[in-house]
Every structure is written in structure tokens, then in C-alpha cells.
Amino acid sequence: MLAELRIRNLAVIEDLEIAFEPGFNVITGETGAGKTVLMRALGLLLGDRGGADLVRQGASEAEVEALFAGPAVATALAAESEGPSADAAAGSEALAGGWTGAGGGGASPFVTGGDGAQPVEADGTTALVDPGEATVRRVIAAGGRQRAYLNDRLVTAGRLATLGERLVHVYGQHEHHDLLRPETQRAIVDLFGGLGDLVATMGTRFRDLLSLEERMRAAREGAAGLAARRDLLTYQAQELQRVALAPGEADDLERERGFLRHAERLRAAAAEAEQELQAGDGAVLDIVARHATNLAGLAAIDPELGEAARLLEDARPVLEEAALRLGARARAIAADPERLEEIEERLALLQRLARKHACSAAELTDLRTRLERELSELDGAGSDPVELERQVTRAAATAWETAAALSAARGSAATALAERITAEFRDLALGGAELTIALEAIAVGAATPPGHMRGDRALAATGGERIVFLFAPNRGEPPRPLGRIASGGELSRLMLALKTATPDASRVPTLLFDEVDAGIGGAVAEAVGRKLARLARARQVICITHLPQIAACADHHFVVRKRPARGRMRSSAERLSDNDRVEELARMLAGVTITKEARRHAAELRRLGRRGGVVVR
């Protein structure tokens, strides 16, 4: 989740910090107070372009920094190190590109010490941080120079954006590009239908078909074609043979690297725990023994104290065993920079080969087996063009069978998902709207191979169809593609409906909604607030809103205010207490003059918000 956000010298914000919490966080404030700058700051951290015009007047540079924490962070960093192929199934792409970080920078205020802050290296290898924490920073100089950092190490904008996609999804009137992408729409349906294995099988069978077609073409070209194919396969196989990757080695190396990177921290933690348990003044075991003796002496007066003494005595052997193990482990753990460097080099080599062959490092052993098998077949009966043609025919039939199964499964998933999302529209001021998810056949082109055709339908690695989200905003209107008909407000609420209908479909830990309340109010706004609160039960939700009905449902309420300071306007953010929340809700209801009636209404809204949202923390 997004744990902390700090902004310095960005537009109207001189210095602002917000510590967000799990659950439903809401941000309110008067128009022009700086809420839009918050969104812009988060966009910069997610890879958006920035310019010198964002630097606060008189400052040398603007800086935005965020601390992400939680189990998803280590997973996101590991996936980010594998490159774009890691998210191919989900249709993820960098939010922005075209510039790279450059230059140096100071230390992050969110990173302490060197034990746990391990960066992502510039060569593309993973550098896991303290499991569960990562700091992302953007710096924009007044002269226009821009820099991006991950855990105080310089990174490119593309990598920053790719990581950001795994940590935060932003939904607002101008942040819906991802939803409009065909590959994203396909991924949503596949995730909803649980079709990951079938999609992977489709990709494998399509690649097998391509490989056989290459062999058949080489065989038809005669000796020269076979020789060229053999040379290519020999080179690729020998390259993998030299690497000599053992089954499971990549995973083992990743685990060992993570251990060695944190060896000193692990050793220190074990030694400190052992020290406090049984050594030095105030050792836990000494305290337990002393209290056990004292309480046992009072057992005749109070049997309950005697029972507590017996429990302490029972705990002593367990604590002693823990202390012994911790001491032994502390003495056994040792940093080994040379071994760590060997692992880094080995993993970098495996990752380069994996990118070259468009697979994961763990799949390189299977790839070598396939290459060697094909070489063997080329040297034997496998080079017969007639036999290869039969194999191509069978492979094409198998691929088309898989594509048909995938199409059927997608059709069922698309129908169910569309119905569920359409049902959600009723509570979002879209009662007459309807979402239809269509499966459109991939068109046959002039260069489509014969085996990739079935009538007017073509085959691809993802199956035989495109997924298209069609939207009809009003009853009786024909559905059309989202990008051609849906307004920004409609897209924002459609995304909310999608996330509510599929609460487990996204692994992104933080969802940020801006302008989700566009064009709604009253009872509909209350329903939107309840939906956001329900969504926040599974992940962190941050919502910028102007509506008190939505703000009342939040677990945590922050207000952004702009005040004059030293002759200039300065924005600040404050977390509100329960009493202050009622006052802010009253301001949102009444405006400048807050009446008793507005306060009464605000208190009632807050009461209803507690009942309709999640438990207030």
C-alpha cells in the first residue's frame, strides 16, 4: 500500500506529508487547495511526464517521494526485474517513456541505514529491498532536468512506471487509457474467468506451431535451408549448454541472493534477540525466572498466582531453546560479498538469455531440451518435408482446438462479467447503461499462413479473437467501443463498477480514485461511498472527492487546505479526528457559513457512513 507521500516545492505545495492507512482513505478540500497537485505528484511517481513549470516559484527543484509498504512490494520488485514479459498476460505497459533519470541525488528521508535498502541495479537485475518496503522518488529541477530514484538508486522512467503499475492504479477522468486498450480488456476477462492456464497453453501451442512451420520451410528449401536451420539451432543449444542451467537453479539463486543481501540484518536480528533473551542485564529469561520464583512463593495465599508461576516455568524451556537457536544462527550467518557477486552475475546472464528467448529464466532448461530434440529430428526422419507437413497440420489442429476452448471459456466469462458490471451501474447513476463484452474474430491478413486460418478467422498466440468492451450509456442506444462513446465521468464509474464486481481480479494493492463523483450526488453518492468502502476491505483505496456522502464512508479522512504564509499561499494536509470530520462534512454541505443544521446533517452522515462503510480504525 501507499504508506507515506511527501511533496516539496511542487506548484502551490511547499512542503507536505501525508501518512496513509489501510482501508478507505478520503481526501477533501476546497477547490484550488491543492488536491489536483496531489494527483499530479502521484502521477509523477508513476511515470508521468513533468516539466519545469511544476517547480514552485523561487525553488531550485521540486521533489515527490512515496514510501510503499506491504507484502505486495517485494512481489512487485521481483516482477519488475523480469522485464515487460512478466506482465504480458495482463497487458501491462509503461505509463510514460521518452526520458531517463540522470544525475545524482540526496538520501531519501524515508530510508534508514543500509541494511535493508537494496536497490534495483542499472543492469536490469533485481535488487530486493527490505521485504515489504520501497521508496520511489522524482526530482524536477527548475531548469527542466529530471531524475527518478528507486530506493535511492537512479532508475529510468520506464522502469519506474512499470513498477508503479504494480503498486498503484489511478482512476480518474484523465487516467483511463489502460482500460481502453484491447489487451487490457482481454486480460480483465481472462483474469475474471480464471483462464491463466488455458491462455498459457494457447501460447505454448502457438509457438510450437511456429517452430514446426520454420522447420518445414527449411526442409522445403532443401539442403541449404536445413543447414541454416541446423546452424541456428546448434548455436542456440550450445549457448544454453555453456550456461549449464540446472533445473530449479534460477529459483535457488534468487532465494540465496535475497538471503545474502540481508545477511548482516539477519545476523544482527538473531544476535540481538539472543542477547535480550538470556544475556546481559534485564534478560528475558532472568525476568521470567525471577517472577516465577516470586509467584510460586505466593501460591499458598493465592492459587491463581501459583498457576501463573507454573505457566512461566513451562515457558522457560521454550525461551531457552529459542535463545540457543538464535545464538547458533547468529554465529552461522555471515556476509559473503564474493558469493553475492557471483550470484548477481549468474542471474544477470540467465535474465539476458531469458529476454533473448522470450521466456522466464526457469524455462531455459526446457528450451534447451526442445532445441536439442529438434536438432536430433533434423538429423533423422524429422527433416522429411512430407512428415513435417503432417506435423504442422497436427500442431495447427491442436492449436485451433485450444483456441476454440479458450473462446468458449472467454465467452462465458465475458457474459458473466458484463452482467455483473451492468448490475452495478444502477447504484452509480448509470441505471440505463449497459456493458457488453464482445469477442471479435481476428481478421485474416494477406500474410496469414494457411495453418493460421479458419475461414475468415486468424490465429494468434492469445487465441482467435479480440476482446472489445462495448458501452451503451442509455437504454435503447446501440453499444459502441468505450473509447468512442464513454465520457470521463462514465469511465470513472465504470472502473469503480468493474473493481466492485471483481474484487479479487486485481493484485494491485492501492487504488486511487479521482473525480469518481463527477455528475452524481444525493443517494447515488452514498451508494458510491459504500461501494468504495466495500472495495477497501480487500485493498487500500484513496479517493479525492467533493461529496460529503462519499467522505462520510471513509475509514480515514484527510483535508487539504491552502493558507497564506510569509506572503505566499501554501497548501498543507491534515488528518482529521472524528469531531473534525463532522466539521469538514458540514463545510462540504453548507459552504462558507456552517449552520447548526449543517452540523446536524453532517453528524448523521458520519453515523450512516460508519454503518455503511468498513470498521473505522
- pLDDT of 511 strictly over 50: yes
Determine the Cα–Cα distance for residues 264 and 254; give it in Å rounded to an integer: 18
Helical (H) or strand (E) element with 478: none
Q: What is the CB neighbour count within 10 angstroms for residue 606?
A: 23
Taking the C-alpha atoms of residue 538 and residue 25, their distance in angstroms, rounded to an integer, is 13
Angle, helices 488-501 vs 522-535, to 10°: value is 50
All three cell numbers of 314: 513451562
- Is the pLDDT higher at 403 or at 256? 403
The kind and range of the H/E element at 185 are helix 182-193
Among 408, 472, 511, smallest CA distance to 165 is for 511
Q: Strand pairing partners for 2?
A: 68
CATH code of the region 1-172+515-617 = 3.40.50.300
Q: Are 515 and 172 in contact (CB under 8 A)?
A: yes
Crossing angle of helices 385-425 and 488-501, rounded to 10°: 100
| pLDDT(265) > 90 | no
Tell me whether residue 578 is exposed, middle or buried, using C-beta atoms within 10 angstroms of its C-beta: 0 to 12, 13 to 18, 19 or more. Answer: exposed
Mean pLDDT of 41-64: 85
From CA 306, how far away is CA 301, in angstroms rounded? 9
Split at pLDDT 50, 70, 90, the class of 617 is very low
The three cell numbers locating residue 493: 464509474
Q: What is the 3-state secondary structure (H, E, C) of 420-472?
A: HHHHHHHHHCCCCCEEEEEEEECECCCCCCHHHEECCEECECCECEEEEEEEE
Tell me the average pLDDT across 287-291: 90
Grid cell of 193 as nine digits: 474467468
- Strand, helix or coil at 6? strand
pLDDT on residue 264:
84
- Read off the C-alpha cell for 15: 512542503
> Position of cell 519506474?
160
Q: Which among 444, 451, 439 is positioned nearest to 399, based on CA atoms?
A: 451
- Whether domain 182-203+396-506 has CATH 3.40.1000: the reply is no
Which tens digits make up the pLDDT trace of 444-495? 888 888 889 888 899 999 999 999 999 998 888 888 888 776 666 677 678 7
d(CA 101, CA 160): 10
On whether the CB atoms of residues 470 and 476 are closer than 8 A, the answer is no
pLDDT, tens digit, 9 for 90 and up, residues 525-577: 888 888 888 888 888 999 988 899 999 999 999 998 877 777 677 777 889 99
Q: How much is the pLDDT for 79?
A: 66
Alpha-carbon distance of 513 to 179, in angstroms, equals 14
| 39 backbone φψ class: left, alpha, beta (φ>0; ψ -120 to 50) | alpha
pLDDT at residue 107, rounded to an integer: 36
Q: Residue 107, CB half-sphere, CA atoms under 13 Å: how many?
A: 7
Can you say whether residue 47 is alpha, beta or left, with left for phi > 0 and alpha for psi between -120 and 50 degrees? left
Against a cut of 0.75, is the pTM above it?
no
Task: Kindly list the distances between the CA atom of residue 246 and the CA atoms of 234, 358, 457, in Å, as whole numbers in the listed order.
Answer: 20, 19, 41
489 backbone dihedrals φ, ψ, rounded to 5°:
-65, -40
Confidence category of residue 415, pLDDT binned at 50, 70, 90: very high
At residue 412, φ and ψ (nearest 5 deg) are -65, -45
Cα 42 to Cα 48: distance, rounded to the nearest angstrom:
9
Mean pLDDT of 374-394: 75
Q: How confident is the model at residue 225 (pLDDT cuts 50, 70, 90)?
A: low
Coil, helix or strand at residue 567: coil
Identify whether the C-beta of residue 362 lies closer than 8 Å to the C-beta of residue 276: no
What's the confidence (pLDDT) of residue 88?
35
Q: Find residue 28's DSSP bridge partners.
A: 559
What pLDDT is stored for residue 89 in this prediction?
35
Look at residue 177 in the predicted model and tell me its pLDDT.
62
C-alpha closest to that of 289 among 261, 312, 305: 312
Average pLDDT over the chain, rounded to an integer:
80
Instruction: Give the residue from 20, 58, 109, 45 showing the smallest Cα distance to 570.
Output: 58
Residue with cell 498476460: 89
Q: What is the mean pLDDT of residues 290-313?
A: 90
* 46-59 average pLDDT score: 83
Task: Tell me whether the CATH fold assigned to 1-172+515-617 matches the one assigned to 182-203+396-506.
Answer: yes
Q: Are 167 and 76 in contact (CB under 8 A)?
A: yes
pLDDT average, residue stretch 507-533:
80
Element (H, E) at 135: strand 133-141
Query: How do residues 192-214 score in pLDDT, each as one tens digit?
Result: 999 989 999 999 999 889 888 88
User: How crowded is the C-beta side of 325, counted as CA atoms within 13 Å?
Assistant: 6
Would you state the pLDDT for residue 542?
93
Question: Please, what's the largest Cα pairwise distance for the chain?
Answer: 101
Length, in residues, of the chain? 617
Residue 11 DSSP SS3 = coil
Annotated domain spans of the chain? 1-172+515-617, 182-203+396-506, 221-383
Please say if the pLDDT value at position 436 is more than 60: yes
The DSSP secondary-structure symbol of 475 reads T
